[in-house]
Amino acid sequence: MTDTPKSLKKLLRQEALARRDALDPVWRIEAALAMAETARRHIETGPQDIVSGFWPMRSEVDVRPILFALREGGARLCLPAILDRTTIVFRELVRGAALIDMGFGTSGPGPEAEVLDPSIMLVPLAAFDARGHRIGYGAGYYDRAIARLQDMGRSPRLVGIAFDCQEVPQVPDETHDVIIPEILTESGLRRFETANGSRIP
């Protein structure tokens, strides 16, 4: 029986996450701090920007240093909130506000927080390839959230967040996939060709 794209993605996801889990925890902290410095140099922000991140779970890159670096330029921050089995929105992250359990081992602002539409999205991923194709965690939340923003006429800057060890030779193509034009790893910010052959400036 021929492997389906879904089953191949599942295998690649498992293998990439196993490599990520095997990274030394202290090294992961150092890598996250280095990535924050890269973000500060290459992702310019101002008061007009809204940056979405995510509260780290398991062995994910801790994006909090990246978020705080981008806030230095005046950007507002937000985190995803799971509303139901298909939908996430992005609630503002402000100093001192309590975070609540969002499931899946992550946290986010409560329902009293303002819902924002990000202009820059730091996108979590399980695996990626050299074309900017991403494998998420399988629930499709980010694919749908990005599609919703695009349907509203918004084009947020998408930056995938991962360690180098999560790169795979090729992600199986599916029609609903969102290509991530930029991936930030401990090696730097990598930019990929877009659908029209151009590169992100």
Biggest distance spanned by C-alpha atoms of the chain: 54
Question: Known binding site: residues?
Answer: 9-13, 60, 134-142
The pLDDT tens digits along the chain (201 residues) read 458 988 999 999 999 999 999 999 999 999 999 999 999 999 999 999 999 999 888 999 999 999 999 999 999 999 999 888 888 899 999 988 888 887 767 788 989 999 999 999 999 999 999 999 999 987 888 989 998 999 999 999 999 999 999 999 999 988 777 789 999 999 999 998 654 333 433
**Residues contributing to the annotated binding site for substrate:** 60
Domains of the chain (ranges; CATH) run 5-127+138-191 (3.40.50.10420)
Can you tell me the distance from the alpha carbon of 78 to that of 37, in angstroms, rounded to the nearest whole number? Answer: 20
Binding-site positions for ATP: 9-13, 134-142
Residue 182 has φ and ψ, to the nearest 5°, of: -140, 140
